[in-house]
């Protein structure tokens, strides 16, 4: 199979998964004003598939790349995030965008360390800047940012440890450290510029402003109604569920455990395992279902080794059967993906609509 045919099949796989996710979203209800998160989530879904296909082609070739793409495109957690925007407002779209940013940042950093260039360095810094996108709805941006920082250091160590004899480890270590340092310096510089250019009022300015007489009368009644709405929301909102196995890309993890390990791709293998340990696992433990979306691309890329041409035909057929079972499960679960569509979650932002409409 040529790369051109692999791109054609890859587009068909992503299109089929996208149609399935969008069908689940539309079945749940009309997007209404929430069509933007749905579009953003679909764009992130397609972009993540493109990165997985490109990275898989570079490491495995067409068969392994398509196997990895199918494993991530039909992962129940990913489809659930794609189908979530009509029910959970921007939660699904931002989760997919954050997952794509982490995948793209890891790919750009790993590619930059192989052959450091300014283009890949700036692409990596741009992707790192987008990493916190999927975190603000979860309550903290520290987990993915810290994970990306630790992953950057591990990628440098992996690049030095897997350097060929003719490359020179000292030179590789120096070039890798400079590339990662430049990427994070650009991230810090842009973050400081954005913070300096923002004109949001400080908490002291809010507290020092004197409200108008009409506002005083309104504010006298607002705390009572807000407290009542908060109490009603607390009673109606279920307790957060702990991270469960349904959020994990189980098929990809199973194939990743059964794959052969080859010395010629040890650098990419270490990069994917490090991404799972630094990004996927901590986010799954902290966020539950959203963290499973981050794990899916890296687990699928590891699983692509099951389609090595050196493996016997029955082993490759067994790997294809596992992916086919995952696709069948995704179709049978439609539109009730684990953690996704819920019949009692129609309000775009639970609690806010009640507080706004309260007399």
Specify the DSSP element, H or E, that contains 42. Answer: helix 35-59
Domain parsing of the chain, residue ranges: 3-194+243-343
pLDDT above 90: residue 273:
yes
DSSP assignment of 161-214, as one string? HT--TTT-HHHHHHHHHHHHHHHHHHHHHHHHHHHHH--PPPHHHHHHPPPPHH
Q: Higher model confidence: residue 244 or residue 146?
A: 146
Tracing tokens 């940042």 back to the chain, one arrives at 105
**If pLDDT is split at 50, 70 and 90, which confidence band does 223 have?**
very low
| Confidence (pTM) | 0.77
Q: Higher model confidence: residue 290 or residue 166?
A: 166
Tracing tokens 């963290």 back to the chain, one arrives at 291
Q: Which of 219, 206, 299 has its CA nearest to residue 258?
A: 299
d(CA 295, CA 323): 16
d(CA 324, CA 317): 10
- Please tell me the predicted confidence (pLDDT) of residue 302: 92
- Please, are residues 18 and 26 in contact by the beta-carbon 8 Å criterion? no
The per-residue pLDDT for range 294-341, each reduced to its tens digit, is 888 999 999 988 888 888 899 889 999 999 998 888 888 766 555 444
- Please tell me the predicted confidence (pLDDT) of residue 245: 63
Share of the chain above pLDDT 70, in %: 70
Q: Which of 334, 338, 325, 275 has its CA nearest to residue 302?
A: 275
What angle is formed at CA 279 by the lines to CA 100 and CA 164, rounded to 5 degrees?
Answer: 90
Q: Higher model confidence: residue 171 or residue 133?
A: 171
Q: Which of 70, 79, 11, 15 has its CA nearest to residue 321?
A: 70
Q: Please state which of the ranges 3-12, 27-36, 124-133 shows the lowest mean pLDDT.
A: 27-36
d(CA 345, CA 183): 41
pLDDT above 70: residue 128:
yes
SS3 342: coil
d(CA 125, CA 181): 10
Q: What ranges make up the beta strands (E) of 69-153?
A: none
Torsion angle of the four alpha carbons 130, 132, 136, 138, in this order, in degrees rounded to the nearest 10 = 130
pLDDT above 50: residue 346:
no
- Please, are residues 34 and 89 in contact by the beta-carbon 8 Å criterion? yes
pLDDT above 90: residue 133:
no
SS3 90: coil
**If pLDDT is split at 50, 70 and 90, which confidence band does 40 have?**
confident
DSSP letter assigned to residue 250: H
């Amino acid at each position: 199979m040529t790369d051109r045919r692999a791109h054609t099949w890859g587009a068909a796989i992503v299109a089929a998964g996208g149609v399935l996710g969008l069908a689940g979203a539309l079945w749940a209800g009309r997007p209404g004003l929430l069509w933007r998160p749905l579009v953003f989530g679909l764009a992130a879904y397609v972009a993540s598939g493109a990165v997985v296909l490109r990275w898989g082609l570079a490491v495995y070739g067409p068969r392994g790349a398509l196997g990895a793409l199918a494993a991530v495109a039909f992962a129940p957690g990913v489809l659930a995030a794609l189908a979530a925007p009509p029910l959970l407002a921007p939660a699904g779209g931002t989760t997919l965008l954050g997952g794509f940013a982490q995948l793209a940042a890891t790919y750009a950093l790993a590619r930059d360390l192989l052959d450091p260039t300014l283009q890949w360095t700036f692409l990596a810094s741009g992707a790192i800047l987008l990493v916190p996108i999927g975190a603000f709805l979860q309550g903290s941006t520290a987990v993915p940012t810290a994970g990306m920082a630790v992953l950057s250091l591990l990628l440098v160590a992996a690049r030095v440890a897997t350097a060929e004899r003719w490359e020179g480890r000292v030179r590789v270590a120096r070039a890798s450290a400079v590339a990662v340092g430049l990427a994070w310096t650009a991230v810090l510089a842009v973050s400081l510029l954005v913070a300096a250019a923002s004109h949001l009022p400080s908490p002291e300015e809010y507290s020092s402003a004197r409200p108008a007489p009409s506002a005083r009368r309104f504010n006298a009644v607002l705390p009572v109604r807000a407290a009542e709405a908060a109490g009603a929301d607390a009673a109606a909102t279920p307790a957060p569920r702990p991270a469960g196995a349904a959020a994990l890309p189980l098929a990809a993890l199973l194939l990743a455990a059964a794959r052969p390990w080859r010395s010629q791709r040890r650098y990419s293998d270490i990069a994917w395992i490090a991404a799972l340990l630094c990004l996927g696992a901590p986010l799954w433990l902290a966020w539950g279902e959203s963290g499973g979306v981050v794990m899916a691309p890296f687990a699928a890329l590891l699983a692509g080794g099951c389609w090595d041409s050196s493996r016997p035909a029955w082993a490759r057929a067994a790997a294809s059967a596992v992916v086919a079972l995952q696709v069948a499960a995704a179709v049978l679960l439609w539109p009730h993906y684990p953690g996704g569509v819920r019949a009692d979650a129609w309000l775009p932002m639970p609690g806010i609509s009640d507080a706004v409409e309260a007399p």
